[in-house]
Amino acid sequence: MRATAQGHIIQLDGIRFIAIALVLIDHLFVAVNVIPFGALGVTIFFVLSGFLISRILLKSKEKTFGTPGGFKKYLRKFLIRRTIRIFPVYYLTIFLLYIFNVPPVRDKLAWLALYGTNIYMAFNKTWMGSVDHLWSLAVEEQVYLFFPFLIFFIPKRKLVPVLGMMGILSLAFRFVYFFMRKDFTSDDWIVTYVSTPACLDSFALGGLMAWMQLYKNDFFIKLFNKSWPVLIGLLVWVLLQFWAKTFENKSNFAFVVLDRTVSSAFGFFLIGRAVMGYNGLMAAFLENPVSIYLGKISYGLYLYHNFVYNHFHSGPTHPTVRLFNKIYQYIPDLRGSVTFEALVVIALTIAAASISWHFFEKPINAIKDKYAN
C-alpha cells in the first residue's frame, strides 16, 4: 500500500479524479453521449466512500468499544469530522444560489438544506434543474446517519453477512420495483437511481473491502494484488452496456436493475487495486500531480460543475452562456462545438473548485485534521 505518513492512500486521489472525470464527460457531452459514464462515476464515488468511512469507523471502534463513554466519543468524532469536511462548502453554495435566486433553490430550500433532494426526486419522479446532481450528496449523508450505528453495534464477525444482506436487498429493491411497474418509464427509473435503498450495494461493497483490509489482510492482498480482476470488471461493465442497448426501452432490466451492481463490482476491484498500489502506466497516471490535485478538489468539481454550466438549464443570461456568445462574436466557427464548450466549462469549473479548495475548504479541513489528531 502506497500511503503518506498520515495514512493517506495516494492512488485513491487518482481514483477520485477518474470518478469526477466520468461525471463531467457525461454531463458536458450529454448532447452526443449515449454511455452512462456519469452513473459509473457516481457509483465509484459511493464504493470509495463506503470503503473510507467504514475503515475510519472500524478503526475508531477498536479504540473506543468497551471504554467508558466509548460510543459517544466514537460518534461525536465521526460526526464532527464529516460535518467540518462537507457542510461548510455545501451550505455556502446553497446560500449563494439562494441570494442570486438560481432556480429552484428558493422553492426547494428545505429539501436542499436537509439533504433530501433524492427523496423529493423519488417521490415526485422528477429532476430538480441545476441542483439535480446534489441527489448523490443527499444519499451519502443519509448513509452517514446509520452506518456508524451499524459498524459499532454489529459484532465484527457478523458484519460481513449484514453487509451482504444490505447489498442483496438493494439489488432486490431495484428488481422488485422494476417488475412492479407494468410500463417502466424513465420517470420510474429516477426512483431506482436516486433512492438511498437502491444505492446500498455500492456502500456495502466498500464496507466489505474495509473489513477485509483490517481483519483479513492476507486475503485482501491476494484478492487485490493483481490487475486482471479490474480488467474483467471493466469488460463485464462494457458487455452490460452493449446488452442494455439491445432493448428498445432505455430504462430496461440491464440498465435499471443490474448496472449499479456491476458498476459497484468494477469499482470494488478498481479501488482495491489502488489501495494495494498499481504499477506501470496506471501508477504513473494515478500518482501524476495533476491527477492527485484534481482528485483532491473533486468535491468542489462535483458540487460546482452544474452551476458553472448545465446543458439543459443554463439560460441565455447565464454568465457562461454570455461568455460563449461573446467568444462566438469574434470566432463564429466555434459556435456549436461541443468539445470547445466542454473545455471552457472544465477550465471554469477547475478554477472555481481551486479557489474553493485553497481559500475555503483546505483551511477548514485543517480544523478537521487537528480534531482527528
Domain contains 4: no
Across 71-84, average pLDDT? 91
Domain contains 91: yes
Place of cell 452513473: 39
Domain contains 104: yes
Residue 371: which pLDDT band, with cuts at 50, 70 and 90? low
pLDDT of residue 370: 66
pLDDT, tens digit (0-9, with 9 covering 90-100), for 105-137: 999 999 999 999 999 999 999 999 999 999 999
How many domains in the chain?
A: 1
Domain contains 5: no
Cα(56)–Cα(285) distance, integer angstroms = 26
Q: Are 136 and 48 in contact (CB under 8 A)?
A: no
Domain contains 353: yes
Residue 27: which pLDDT band, with cuts at 50, 70 and 90? very high
**Residue 321 burial by CB count (10 A; 0-12/13-18/19+): exposed, middle or buried?**
middle
Cα(217)–Cα(232) distance, integer angstroms = 22
Q: b or e along 106-143 (b: 16 or more beta carbons within 10 Å of the residue's beta carbon)?
A: eebeebbeebbbbbbbbeeeebbbbbbbbbbbbbbbbb
Q: Name the residue type at position 371.
A: Y
Whether 289 shows a pLDDT value over 80: the answer reads: yes
Whether 97 shows a pLDDT value over 70: the answer reads: yes
pLDDT of residue 372: 54
Whether 311 shows a pLDDT value over 90: the answer reads: no
Domain contains 90: yes
Of residues 45, 26, 35, 40, the one with CA closest to residue 346: 26
Cα(260)–Cα(157) distance, integer angstroms = 27
Please name the residues in contact with 284: beta carbons below 8 A apart, sequence gap of 6 or more.
none
| Phi and psi, residue 3, nearest 5° | -140, 160
Q: Which domain holds residue 352?
A: 10-372
User: What stretches of the chain show up as alpha helix (H) in DSSP?
Assistant: 11-28, 37-64, 70-99, 109-113, 117-124, 135-153, 156-180, 186-194, 200-215, 217-224, 228-244, 253, 259-276, 280-286, 289-296, 298-308, 319-330, 338-356, 362-372
pLDDT of residue 369: 61
Q: Are 269 and 230 in contact (CB under 8 A)?
A: yes
Residue 247: which pLDDT band, with cuts at 50, 70 and 90? very high
pLDDT of residue 1: 65
pLDDT, tens digit (0-9, with 9 covering 90-100), for 175-197: 999 999 988 999 999 999 999 99
Domain contains 2: no
Q: b or e along 333-360 (b: 16 or more beta carbons within 10 Å of the residue's beta carbon)?
A: eeeeeeebbbebbbebbbebbbebbeee
Domain contains 1: no
Q: Are 306 and 28 in contact (CB under 8 A)?
A: no
Q: Are 58 and 213 in contact (CB under 8 A)?
A: no
